[in-house]
Structure 1
Amino acid sequence: MPHQLTVTLTNDERTTLETFIHRGKANARTLTRARILLKSAEGWSTSALVAAFDVCEATVTNVRKRFTQGGLEAVLHDKVQQHRRSALSGLQTAHLIAIACSPSPDAHDHWTVRLLAQKAVELGFVTSISPNTIHEMLKKNELKPWQHEHWCLPSVGGEFVAAMEDVLDLYEEPYDPQYPTICLDEKPVILHADVHPPVPVEPGKPERIDYEYERKGTRNLFVMVEPLAGWRHVEVTMQRTMQDYARVVRFLVDEVYPHAEYIRLVQDNLNTHTSAALYETFPPSEARRILQRVEFHYTPKHGSWLNMAEIEIAILERNALSRRLCRVLAVETERNRQRRGIAWQFTSRDARVKLERLYPVKERMLD
């Protein structure tokens, strides 16, 4: 058995170690070394330290050796590792970044580390290079050529901000039952049913749902929400047609708000969301009667986030539509009973500051 190094601490060193351990702000490995050193000075044997701190003998020996050679500083702080020389020069790295940011070869969906290594050798930037070196270069430069995102790049201008501010100003108005504000949106869904019943949750086991399902067709959900009153309704239809939309508008006018002067309907620019849909569905006199009690407010194109019905749809997706058997009615009933409203905070004033880049003409700053 190798000779056990003797550890002797001064009063100041002991105080420093005790304070360091008491604060507990270092990582677990460093705190363990400090405790081993303190107990070694109290005369604990190597075997006792191994059992107490669940470490190997080499760790105990190494702590004592570090203290003997470098004092407390060597025990409480790890050595700063020498920076390894990069396998790639700055110019080689720049060339590789340029390749990774270029279109991938025709026969491949994206650049891989092996493809990049082959291309670098082919172009003569390096004589040879390992895929691991390529991986480290990509990681260091936060490049992920195998990933891509779908993104909407709208063309915004006066038309966009005009529609945006119209909706935002409407949201700022106080609640008035004579002129209720209703947000309307649609959501197509695919209906699935379980072939085998799910296995309920058990201690230590999550609910288990069989991968096999039975398709039950599709439906369209018209989601209506009055944010300030805490009311919502989901109308389920077989299709998404002009006639379905027109009937929903008549439902709002005649059944939900029969005593209102008119309703203010916030909706997107879907091709069926027009006043023409009512003339395609009802006689002219009936269509005109309904339209005289509706004021349309359209969100800008690519601005669906301005429609609060999107928030309600997200809640439905989380609580009902994520299951194979949709529980839309249950969610609607519960939220209506609790009068769950939507507190919209974003205003036109906020938009002119946070979305200033969208405005064709900027607001003049007052001196």
Structure 2
Amino acid sequence: MRTGISITLTSSDRHRLEALTSNRNTAQKHVWRAAIVLLSADGVGTTEIMRWTGTSKTCVWRWQERFMQEGVDGLLRDKTRPSRIKPLGPDIAEWVVNLTLADPPVEATHWTAAMMAKETGISASAVRRIWRAHGLQPHRYRQFKLSNDPRFAEKLRDVVGLYVDPPAHAIVLSVDEKSQIQALDRTQPGLPLKKGRLGTMTHDYKRHGTTTLFAALNVLDGSVIGRNMQRHRHQEFIRFLNAIEAQVPPGKAVHVILDNYAAHKHPKVRAWLDRHERFTFHFTPTSCSWLNAVEGFFAKLTRQRLKRGVFHSVVDLQAAISRYVAETNASPKPFTWTADPDEIIAAVRRGHQALDSVH
């Protein structure tokens, strides 16, 4: 053993070290560090310890000293070392940032790390570090859609008011149609999910036709009125309104939230509305389908039942949708609106200002 090294173990230390060496889940570097100390405490010489642990002389000495200074906990901790990578100057980082914010000089829509590395002469990993430090992600983007409706704020407050403070003795329905739902059949059966393997689905499929789901979400109790139809013209919309009329208890006022689809404003629909005085239509601002609560139901339907569904016919698809609606109605959840309309209006205003400054 190295001169000046004397290792004596308490029973507690020995127990911890032996537990490290015997545990199959212990990291190997911790196993041989513990072995160095155990062998040293048993009086084994440095050469023999090197042979047993497959380490160098300086490594043996280092961990002997670490144990003497810090105990068992010191063996489990790696001390940090200064990076071997020479730091780039702030001028390089500023150059990379400015280039990133400009269009690339090639036929590409955005910079990649490889393109930037070639342009600046630094490594791609250095480019990524600079981007990370400055919060730049040129490979990502966000889509947006701003409403140009001159009555945006008025319509927004009207619809949100129905969500958060519905009129007494009235029903509030969020109504829309999900059109062109495809009955897709797979060319081969997929494999089920199992431990260690994802479920599978063939890339190829067969089309068997489409259907349109008309749905009305009762925002007060979360129940859904749904009807499958082949088309989504004003004729089908009127048929769906008649279905709502038949299902809603008499004597209740009905407030219907709709988007601006042409079929919803057809003259024959307006005539139907004139004949049914208890119905009142509330239109969302243009380009604001996200304001219609039933869109959330459509998203869940797509995610949970349609996206990975296998349907051998349109009838099969319609039956699956009807079962999903019935399952939703078995345990409905009331719709809750949480966003502040003032914040939405302010955000839209900022969006328009940003676009105006660009143009």
TM bucket normalised to smaller: 0.7 to 0.9
Map of 1:287-366 to 2, 5 A cutoff?
288-290=274-276, 292-322=277-307, 323-325=309-311, 326=317, 327-338=320-331, 340-346=332-338, 350-352=340-342, 354-355=343-344, 357-358=346-347
The letter of the residue matching 1:314 is A
> Deviation of residue 60 (structure 1)?
11
String of CA shifts for 1:204-226, please: whole Å, max 9, x gaps.
55443333211123332222111
1:298-347 Cα distance to aligned partner (Å, 9 max, x none): 23334433322122112211221111324211111112123x12240427
2:254 maps to which residue? 263
**Kindly tell me: are residues 40 and 268 of structure 1, through their superposed partners in 2, closer, same or farther at Cα, counting changes over 3 Å?**
farther
Quote the sequence identity (%): 20
2:65 counterpart residue number: 68
Distance (Å, rounded) in 1 between the aligned partners of 2:347 and 2:130: 37
Q: Pairwise CA RMSD of aligned residues? A: 4.2
Q: 1:188-203 to 2 correspondence within 5 Å?
A: 188=179, 189-201=181-193
TM-score relative to the length of structure 1: 0.71
Q: 1:186 to 1:115 in 2, by over 3 A?
A: same
Q: Describe the shift of the 1:201–1:96 C-alpha distance in structure 2 as closer, same or farther (beyond 3 A).
A: closer
SS of structure 1 residue aligned to 2:151 = helix
Residue 24 of structure 1 aligns with which residue? none
**Offset, 1:70:** 7.8
The 2-side partners of 1:210 and 1:11 are apart by 62
Indicate conservation of the 8 Å contact 1:37/1:64, yes or no: no
Whether the 8 Å CA contact 2:212–2:232 is kept in 1: the answer is yes
**Equivalent AA in structure 2 for residue 298 of structure 1:** F
Query: How far apart are the structure 2 equivalents of 1:6 and 1:66?
Result: 11
Q: Residue 104 of structure 1 aligns to which amino acid in structure 2?
A: P
1:185 aligns with 2:171: no
**Count, aligned residues:** 327
- Counterpart among 232, 238, 244 of residue 240 in structure 1: 232
How do 1:1-367 and structure 2 match up within 5 A? 8-9=7-8, 14=13, 35-36=34-35, 39-40=38-39, 43=42, 57-58=54-55, 62=59, 65-68=62-65, 71-73=68-70, 75=75, 77-84=77-84, 86=86, 88-120=88-120, 128-154=121-147, 159-173=151-165, 178-188=169-179, 189-201=181-193, 205-253=197-245, 255-257=246-248, 259-274=250-265, 276-279=267-270, 284=271, 286=272, 288-290=274-276, 292-322=277-307, 323-325=309-311, 326=317, 327-338=320-331, 340-346=332-338, 350-352=340-342, 354-355=343-344, 357-358=346-347
Q: Distance in 2 between matches of 1:163 and 1:233?
A: 24
Identify the range of structure 1 (74-83 vs 57-66) with the bigger mean alpha-carbon deviation: 57-66
| 3-state SS of paired residue (1:119) | helix
Gaps of 5+ in 1: 22-26, 121-127, 361-367
Contact map agreement 1:30 1:75 (CA 8 A) in 2: no
- Between stretches 260-269 and 63-72, larger displacement belongs to 63-72
